Amino acid sequence: MNYQETLDYLYTHLPMFQRIGAAAYKKDLGNTLALCAQLGNPQHKFNSIHVAGTNGKGSVTHMLAAICQAAGMKTGMYVSPHYKDFRERIRINGQYIPPKKVVEFVAKTQKTIEEIKPSFFELCVAMAFDHFAQEKVDIAIVEVGLGGRLDSTNVITPLASVITNISYDHMDLLGDTLAQIASEKAGIIKPGIPVIIGETHPESAPVFVQKARDTGAPIAFADQHFEAKLLAENVLQGQSTFQITKDGQTLQAPVLLDAAGPFQDKNLATVLQVFDSLPIVPASAVETGLAQLRKRTRFQGRWQILGQNPLILCDSAHNEAGLRTAFEKINSLQFERIHIVTGFANDKDLSKALPIFPKNARYYFAKANVPRGLDAQVLLDTAATYGLTGKAYRSVRNAFQAAKRAAHANDLVLVIGSIFVVAEIPLKRFSPHPASF
């Protein structure tokens, strides 16, 4: 098979959560362990940092990877899902896994694939770990796909376990209380391995403290030690400057982050706590990596500026906490009218999401081109019960084009609500300077 035929095989033969939802979620690690065993257990052949959480885990993963690269480490990164290119999931020093490597991996594991019938995600994890081991990375930053305890990535023994925060998402699989969700995320905590929690919450913190005590894992809550205060933000450049405080003491030099938007203050504090608990990089690498985040990792899809006059912004916030924080930030921007292109997966609890959306916006509802996409007319009708009005469109691209046509120069066009919606619009980064990658 060539590369395209290989991708077609993966998409048609393996259940994929992003496409079909809970039916693709395997509630054990058996398939991942079987695949890794066939490959010589690559998960034990490189150092790693494991990152879980409801919101911010993607940003934290990219920041950690950029800093490790700046420190001179050959750095693997595993993230999911992908926006445009399957190979986005597996990177070394920001470079996507070569198509040839994808083809070779599927060819050598095809017999096992047919025998054990792994999920799409299980195979992707095994492919990533095999690639990292073959290429002898110094470290890999591994993002959890869903939950933690039963996630396929949870076969590694990392240098540190990171849990950014806990909020309501995937409640049908992880539990309907914050304590239950925290218990699933806490499943990545390993005996004696430092664990860093990004945010202290009264319902989840006791769960993490107890799991850390049971496993003898040193635990640190980032927000109890570090504070990142926003000093300045350049929306068009997509950059932010923060003043850092550690244990009440202000550090001298402000930190430049090549990213903007909500959560970044909390994400930055989490990253700083990771390297405080795990001192494997010099301070200069932290500064350089954060300032060169996009260049080093190809960070995209989160609070990304795609154009101006009108301002065009996309963000992959999709759960209650993510949307609430995103709209708080959006309300601080200057614009005359807001045009919102949005869509959701059909298993999303709209009763929690839609009340967060502003009633004074003009809406362009669309169904993402995946089986899990919610029908645009159904979304329009449901949104109307929350006072949100607009039109339904046959595709995300049509909705996006309609929003751009309707918007005036001083308006804001916002694409939000699902990573699958964001993935269907052009994601070339707008910049007054040449693109960084």
pLDDT (tens digit per residue) in 68-80: 999 999 999 999 9
Helix, strand or coil, per DSSP, at residue 111: helix
CATH number 3.40.50.12280 given to 3-297: no
- Picking from 316, 386, 396, 318, the residue whose alpha carbon sits closest to that of residue 358 is 386
**From CA 331, how far away is CA 313, in angstroms rounded?**
13
Pairing of strands 338-342, 304-307: unpaired
- Is the CB of residue 184 less than 8 Å from the CB of residue 149? yes
Helix, strand or coil, per DSSP, at residue 197: strand
What is residue 434's predicted lDDT score, i.e. its pLDDT?
35
Total residue length of the chain: 437
**From CA 423, how far away is CA 243, in angstroms rounded?**
33
User: Half-sphere exposure (CA, 13 Å, Cβ side) for 144?
Assistant: 28
Residue 24 has pLDDT above 80, yes or no: no
Per CATH, the number for 304-422 is 3.90.190.20
**From CA 194, how far away is CA 206, in angstroms rounded?**
17
Considering only CA atoms, give the Rg of the chain: 21
Domain boundaries of the chain, sorted by first residue: 3-297, 304-422
| Residue with the larger pLDDT of the pair 180 and 102 | 102
**Segments in 54-119 forming alpha helices (H):** 57-70, 99-116
**From CA 98, how far away is CA 101, in angstroms rounded?**
5
- Is the CB of residue 137 less than 8 Å from the CB of residue 129? no
pLDDT tens-digit profile of 311-334? 999 998 878 878 998 999 898 899
Which token pair is 325? Answer: 């924080």
**From CA 431, how far away is CA 91, in angstroms rounded?**
24
The pTM assigned to this predicted structure is 0.92
